[in-house]
Structure 1
């Protein structure tokens, strides 16, 4: 209903629905009425999730309501015509609630673990390539196969089957999070963590901790996400002495996610502490890598320094440092996410042409990711609203492709 509104306009829309005056809402969030009026009329950009979360709490709506999430997944040759609803059906199958309700016959033969491993890898590769339609199409069948394997195998094969089931659930959670389906993502992450604990693998469990942290971030529970990172780190730290590259990557990535949570909670000191821990871990790893599909290494740490600077309002630092980073060696998802962060910072400094170039470059690399990310939609809609007369052809065409006008 509010897809074509800016975040500020959505704040005004929900405020009026609540029968609340600007004076009352401004008081609830500790701002002046003049500030709120400017925010609702797009004269101030609401580009920090900490501020948007505060407004959502005061209006008693979700963070996703103000970000206009989820967004409709476009049909494509890769997605087919059964996308998120099919994945929702797979996650909400009542037979997953308890072993008492599971079918005991007629399931067929479980897939070979080698085949299942390849299929899980294909979904994760698609996620990192920002091919969400392909991943959404594959995940319902993959979940069925992984569940059957976890029920059918025994011994060490059973542990591997649960590890693959956990990674399937995590893949579902990550894809759903990108699409703004945060409640479904939470279900997937929760199920994945349960499966991970039956895998006997600290690496798999650590990977799922990251997924749960992402879900908390997506729903605006920033302080809880920080607490989870601290608790999860306590679980993983005993294994650091003889840590494998995969273990180091999972551990370091957990702190990168935590740094974003701390920044969105406006906890600058903790954000810096988490970034230092991630940087030390990347130093132990020695170079950029992609163990467990983490894209972890020094460059990803640098990317998060830029992103946390933006979340903390240090837009000039984010713009200057962000433009200097070479992300060409990282997976598509990381490169595009960084482009959007730098575009946001440039736009905040009224360097709109440079910001537009960053978004267009990102769209060329990964149109699905740009289409579904609130930041790109909000930037483009803000440029359309803020232009006297008609926006430029480049902005107008981009707005049409993103379905924001």
Structure 2
């Protein structure tokens, strides 16, 4: 079902008329009728969230997340459930962790290499590979944190915090919002235990991602402000790593502000991120942030789209050169460009952008709600028989049989 069709389904389940629901979200009955009949696309999370709140359902219920992760050569037959089991392992939240762990603690060098391999795979948009191997990394890092002392203990905690951060961003990518929250909480605890301000900042950003995944956009905006106030006294002569995580904190906050329909705060956060990028001086990838002027420009497009300013997204989006960015960032930007073209009714251009994105990173396109909803809406809106290219893409994304 499209998002509009889900709205209609939940509205009927609630015994609610179109007049009542439209009134609750401050819209006309005509608008709601067009939404439910796929004549208006719902592509702004702020609007979808208002409907979810009025219907008393989760945001994920309307956007159809999470999606089933396919078994691949990279993933094998152990995907999200194995990661869920790792996050909900009682040994990690009880006093019995060190004594009861069945995993031998690897060396710090070994878990650092394991961490780097998985972060690199994530930035290459190899989501199945990352999901299937995160349980092992978390188990190894937890065992190290429970076994070592002194300098090695702090190093193990740093690895553990970044492993949980990776779990957070990976889980939000595939729509597992509640698990992402658990991972963000664990990662922040490890970063604080290590006494590492840079990693604490990085994990605070992960918490904002987890908040957004559950539709708590205003809370994510407030956390961005709180985190910035916490970090400012420690911001004299910042390292490149600190500038990068500080800048990406504001980028995450700008998306939250846009999704909360707060244009002023969105601009404020983007300006703060731009200042950090200017101080950094170039695109970089410290702590796998992919932060720099290009990532700021990417977020200008994404936030404009979330605020409904399609003209800005159309004018700026296709002009940004993302070839120097990690694949995950490149393809995420392509999805925004496709959304902007679609909103401008340039469906052929949007389809071409999406097909090129799929060629570069098929898993990322398959699991992102935006690509699935775009293709489904194009199928639903066709007056004639959809093209073979579009139908084949819809089948690859599992939005039609």
| Distance 1:14-1:105 versus aligned 2 partners, 3 A rule | closer
Match of 1:269 in 2: 264
Instruction: Name the SS of the counterpart of 1:11 in structure 2.
Output: helix
Match of 2:28 in 1: 32
- 1:316: how far off? 1.5
Deviation sequence 1:340-384 (CA, Å, 0-9, x none): 011111100100111111111110111111001110000000100
Q: Distance in 2 between matches of 1:321 and 1:363?
A: 22
Pairs within 5 Å for 1:119-130:
119-130=114-125
- 1:108: how far off? 5.6
Query: Which of 142, 156, 160 is the matching residue for 1:147?
Result: 142
| Distance 1:106-1:67 versus aligned 2 partners, 3 A rule | closer
Q: Distance in 2 between matches of 1:357 and 1:54?
A: 31
Query: Which of 32, 38, 42 is the matching residue for 1:42?
Result: 38
Match of 2:379 in 1: 384
Match of 2:296 in 1: 301
Match of 2:351 in 1: 356
Query: Unmatched 5+ residue regions in structure 1?
Result: none
- 1:138: how far off? 0.8
Normalising by the residue count of structure 1, what TM-score does the alignment of the two structures yield? 0.97
Query: Which of 168, 173, 178 is the matching residue for 2:163?
Result: 168
Q: Is the 8 A contact 2:22 2:28 kept in 1?
A: yes
Q: Distance in 2 between matches of 1:360 and 1:379?
A: 12
Q: Distance in 1 between matches of 2:80 and 2:331?
A: 23
| Distance 1:290-1:98 versus aligned 2 partners, 3 A rule | same
- 1:17: how far off? 1.1
Match of 1:336 in 2: 331
Q: Is the 8 A contact 2:334 2:357 kept in 1?
A: yes
Deviation sequence 1:96-149 (CA, Å, 0-9, x none): 2221x3351564642110110010111111111111111111111111100010
Which range is displaced more, 372-381 or 232-241?
A: 232-241
Q: Distance in 1 between matches of 2:385 and 2:294?
A: 39
| Distance 1:157-1:42 versus aligned 2 partners, 3 A rule | same
Match of 2:340 in 1: 345
- 1:320: how far off? 1.6
Give the RMSD, CA atoms, in angstroms: 1.0
Query: Which of 12, 15, 18 is the matching residue for 2:14?
Result: 18
- 1:276: how far off? 0.4
| Distance 1:387-1:286 versus aligned 2 partners, 3 A rule | same
Query: Unmatched 5+ residue regions in structure 2?
Result: none
Alignment size in residue pairs: 400
Q: Is the 8 A contact 2:251 2:296 kept in 1?
A: yes
Instruction: Name the SS of the counterpart of 2:70 in structure 1.
Output: coil
Pairs within 5 Å for 1:5-404:
5-99=1-95, 101-102=96-97, 104=99, 107=102, 109-404=104-399
